[in-house]
Structure 1
Amino acid sequence: MRVVIAGGHGRIARKLERVLAGRGDRAEGLVRDRAGIPDLESAGARGVVCDLERASVDEIEGLLRGADAVVFAAGAGAADPVRTDAVDRGGSVKVGEAAQRAEVGRLVQVSSTGAGRLYEPDHALADYLNAKTRAEDDLRRRDLDWTIVRPGLLTDAPGSGTVSLAAEPPPSDGPHGAVSRDDVAELIAALLPVTGARGLTVEVTEGATPIDRAVRAVAAPAPARP
């Protein structure tokens, strides 16, 4: 499987690249500049320069042609509202459109707990969560085999290989729970080949269920062949 990861130099992305390379998949990460390429190569991935803020949909489409799946793991954080909207929402919209044009069926989007509703400006994470919510809304309108992953508060603790996974969670007041980036990367890798996860939004936090079992529990069975 050839997997292209938007935001390929991010911490979740680099962990995912190691997981994918370890199981024999081809991971390619889109990075803002060449300085990030050695880190991707050390993770077993190929680095491709593509600044999502400046790249056109046509340019991104060309990079996605022939891919089996795309992961949107890009994020600008919450410090700069303009960049947050440009990357977390605008970058997602570009990648979704490019994936559709390139006929890449599978797309997994990394969002956040607390997304799924719009917040008033006085909320501490309004810009960030509103950008994630609008990115989710755009993806849901697309004819893609998409899955949205909403991690809780991300940590750098070693992965446990177990999680709590909730399908179609109700809107909350903001990020809650915690989860290791290691476990989020493992979860994304487990979701990528699952046919029953189309159109599914999942919220992941720390838990006691092995990741593969958690995915099987929330994914709908594939339709029977006639």
Structure 2
Amino acid sequence: MRVVIAGGHGQIALRLERLLAARGDQAVGIIRKVEQAADLRDSSAEPVVLDLETAEPAAVAEVLEGADAAVFAAGAGPGSGSARKDTVDRGAAALFAEAAQRAGVRRHVQVSGMGLDRADDPGMDEVFSAYLKAKAAAEDDLRARDLDWTILRPGRLTDEPGTGQVHLADSVDYGTISRDDVAAVLVALLDEPRTVHHTLELVEGHTPIDEALKRI
């Protein structure tokens, strides 16, 4: 399986690339900076330098040509302002999905977040509100497309070692989840057609990942 990953140098993406390589798949990571390429090669992934904030859909579609699946795992990241929350968390996600359609890559998994309906809560930080709104808009955009999409909403991310035990469902109580386990769930989602057209929330739990997917 050839999997193209937007945000290929992210902490989840690097873990995902290693997992894909370990089972014999080909991971291709889209990155913004050439100096990030070595980390991808260390993860047995092919780096492609392309800025999803400024690229044309045709250029992104060229990277996706021949892929079996696409994973959007990009984000503006800590320290970025409201404007980049929109251009990356919404705009780049929409561009990547459009490019997947152009390239004929139907399987599409998008990493989102929990609690998107809190954007207008009183006292909400302005930048975090912009992030939540951008993620919600990206979800809406993807749902409207003719793709075999799945949206994954992890809880608060940690760097604790993965346990392989999760709580995965249409709706779960807010909690934490290790980046290791998010990456493992992403791999499993790529293989599981019953999750197509589902928006799934993910936190740590007591159910093995394969079993959790069978319950969807």
Contact 1:89/1:132 (CA < 8 Å) preserved in 2?
Answer: yes
TM-score (norm 1): 0.91
What residue in structure 1 maps to residue 51 of structure 2? 51
What residue in structure 1 maps to residue 105 of structure 2? 104
TM-score (norm 2): 0.95
> What is the one-letter code of the residue matched to 1:156?
D
> What is the one-letter code of the residue matched to 1:41?
R
- Residue 18 of structure 1 deviates from its aligned partner by 0.4
Contact 2:119/2:130 (CA < 8 Å) preserved in 1?
Answer: no
Aligned residues: 213
User: In structure 2, do the counterparts of structure 1 residues 51 and 12 end up closer, same or farther at CA, with 3 Å as the change threshold?
Assistant: same
**Percent identity over the alignment?**
53
* Aligned-partner Cα distance in 1 for 2:107–2:122: 34
Map 1:183-222; keep pairs closer than 5 Å: 183-218=181-216
Task: Note the alpha carbon deviations across 1:143-166, whole angstroms, 9 max, x for none.
Answer: 000000000000000000110111
The answer to which structure has the higher helix fraction is 2
- RMSD after superposition: 1.5
- 1:180 lines up with 2:181 in the alignment: no
Ranges in structure 1 where 5+ consecutive residues have no aligned partner = 219-226
* Aligned-partner Cα distance in 2 for 1:216–1:64: 29
- Residue 33 of structure 1 deviates from its aligned partner by 1.5
- Residue 115 of structure 1 deviates from its aligned partner by 2.2
* Aligned-partner Cα distance in 1 for 2:134–2:40: 27
Ranges in structure 2 where 5+ consecutive residues have no aligned partner = none
What residue in structure 2 maps to residue 34 of structure 1? 34
* Aligned-partner Cα distance in 1 for 2:120–2:138: 14
Contact 1:77/1:128 (CA < 8 Å) preserved in 2?
Answer: no
Contact 1:117/1:130 (CA < 8 Å) preserved in 2?
Answer: no
Structure 1 residue matching 2:27: 3-state secondary structure: strand
